[in-house]
Structure 1
Amino acid sequence: MSPVDSEHLHTLLGTAVESLTPVGGGSICEARRAWLSDGRSVFVKSRAGAPAGFFQAEALGLRRLAAARGGVPVPQVLAHDEQCLVLEWVTTGVPSAAAAERFGRALAATHRHGADVFGSADGPGWIGSLDLPQGPWKTWPELWAYGRLEPYLRAARKAGAVDKRTVAEVEKVIAELPRLAGPDEPPALIHGDLWAGNVLWTETGAFLVDPAAHGGHRETDLAMLTLFGLPHLDRVLAAYDDAWPLAPGWRERLPLHQLHPVLVHAMLFGGSYGAQAGQLARQALRHP
């Protein structure tokens, strides 16, 4: 049962709620559409027993992404508290090649907006239901090693989601990250959990939702899109590279950036993700 009802939303928004309807969404939070007495409809995301700051962190991430001039738009944050997040309603449509090209250019602008640090100094963060260490860190290899790979490898090993060979291979990646990371780049403002389900296609283009926004490496977002697929992905990547050329060898570094989300999936879903983490580690080690 959701902790958020019409009366709760009325208090939060200052507008009466006429109805609440479940909609498709993630497996972690409950997603509903609320119809308001002023004729608007809004998206309501709630989670029973959410950790303190859970929805505040998401609201902050959305606002940071919204501040990027020319970047990918995000839904407007209308309200949030410890139980829920309320966003403007975004009507989805069918992706097109032209929209994908606009998305690629806009994503480059989001990344170019930059961040003050690798990680974040804004308090706790999450990816899905899992804690996301925020740092901050001085370099991207430090962020990736000690804020992403090491803690999730440790948790996956404890849960039995990875075998000894995978543990050894990921540990080798961690040890060699300064060599594997590629050319130094300043912190980019990244979405941080950019799989296809967090890209909403509309008649005017793409919107981003459900961020784990922080200062990171721009190749991380592109690797996530490549890992789980996206309509017209080739158009997105080509437009991105045209707007802000990627460093040589970026395609060979994709497995390095995909390693963390696969460890997250090993923790959340088990199955073959543990073995996939080992495969990605071996691929990453082949390409300095």
Structure 2
Amino acid sequence: MMFLTEQSRGLITDAVKRYTGRLEELQLLRPVHGGSINKCYQMGYGEARFFLKVNSARQYPGMLRAEAKGLRTIADTHTTKVPLIIEVFETQEEQVLVLEWIESGPNTSSSQESLGRSLANLHSHTSDHFGLEYDNYMGSLPQSNTMAVSWSDFFINQRLKPQVELGQRSGVLSKEILSLFDSLYQGLDGLSPAEKPAFIHGDLWGGNYMISSEGEPALIDPAVCYSNREADIAMTMLFGGFQSLFYEAYNEVFPLEPGWKERLDLWNLYPLLVHLNLFGVSYLPQIKAILIKYV
């Protein structure tokens, strides 16, 4: 692990030793797919396998600690599997997250149904407020979770406005688009029925869940908060990766409110703005079309 400082290598080795109860030498280290933000590896100590995620502590302060906290919060609901956290730490230069290694299996109809049911059960966990007691990240962008009583207040001030302001500062949002957002804010309250805040994954596209070799779904890379549960459902449809059986199973456990399909684009304004600010103007026509639809 020459890409890590000696301090980080020692902390990882100590964590693995505590977990396995054995002192093993590192025998396997290979890069694996883990998104565009972090460097990710599979590590092998004897027969034990682990997932290693590494990033700069200066560029994205607290990002992996927030990810670990989100995984723990999901685990505490006892509704769905998440990778076990072996270690998370930051040094002056690096941040490191070590998770159990989950061996991937086939994405079957049965596993999609199981994923739908487990997500519905996750969403059944509620709060008196929208938001969360800690902030986290959406991709590589900071995500504020300051609590609010109403869903529209939370959605406007903690989701849409921060991304709109970022797009305005970078010059990718025109005065026309900014005016459309102002109009949306004025009428947002009437666009969705009132529901209690639901605990959501927050970034639930097809790359942020996996199916284990035993066929059990597991959620990864969360951006958790208490929000409208339709935001998770909308995200599942934005980039694909979920079968119709997933939605059928979800609705059997926790039926969505009437008209939910007509509101999907509304919730996807947030991830589309995130993608606009991260990857550029190709997302702008879709954002504009959604705004025109709702204003």
TM norm structure 1: 0.91
Q: Is the 8 Å Cα contact of residues 3 and 48 (structure 1) preserved in structure 2?
A: no
* Secondary structure class of the residue paired with 2:262: coil
Gaps of 5+ in 2: 18-22
Aligned to 1:22: 31
Gaps of 5+ in 1: none
CA apart distance, 1:140: 1.3
Residues 231 and 250 from structure 1, CA distance in 2 versus in 1: closer, same or farther, beyond 3 angstroms? Answer: closer
CA apart distance, 1:93: 1.9
Asked if 1:13 is matched to 2:16, the reply is yes
Mapped to 2, the partners of 1:23 and 1:175 lie a distance apart of 45
Which string of whole-angstrom CA distances, capped at 9 and with x for unpartnered residues, describes residues 111-153 of structure 1? 112245311112x311111010110111211110000001101
Of the candidates 109, 125, 141, which is equivalent to residue 97 of structure 1? 109
Of the candidates 175, 180, 188, which is equivalent to residue 169 of structure 1? 180
Backbone CA RMSD of aligned residues: 1.8
Mapped to 2, the partners of 1:73 and 1:143 lie a distance apart of 28
Asked if 1:210 is matched to 2:218, the reply is no
Mapped to 2, the partners of 1:52 and 1:228 lie a distance apart of 28
Aligned to 1:41: 49
* Secondary structure class of the residue paired with 1:105: helix
Residues 191 and 2 from structure 1, CA distance in 2 versus in 1: closer, same or farther, beyond 3 angstroms? Answer: farther
Mapped to 1, the partners of 2:247 and 2:294 lie a distance apart of 20
Aligned to 1:145: 156
Following superposition of structure 1 onto structure 2, how do residues 269-284 of structure 1 map, counting pairs within 5 Å?
269-284=279-294
Which string of whole-angstrom CA distances, capped at 9 and with x for unpartnered residues, describes residues 189-219 of structure 1? 1000111100112242321100001111110
Of the candidates 75, 80, 87, which is equivalent to residue 88 of structure 2? 80
CA apart distance, 1:235: 1.3
Following superposition of structure 1 onto structure 2, how do residues 180-259 of structure 1 map, counting pairs within 5 Å?
180=191, 182-203=192-213, 204-232=215-243, 234-259=244-269
Which string of whole-angstrom CA distances, capped at 9 and with x for unpartnered residues, describes residues 207-236 of structure 1? 11000011111100000001111141x211
* Secondary structure class of the residue paired with 1:46: strand
* Secondary structure class of the residue paired with 1:113: coil
Following superposition of structure 1 onto structure 2, how do residues 52-91 of structure 1 map, counting pairs within 5 Å?
52-69=61-78, 71-82=79-90, 83-91=95-103
* Secondary structure class of the residue paired with 1:256: helix
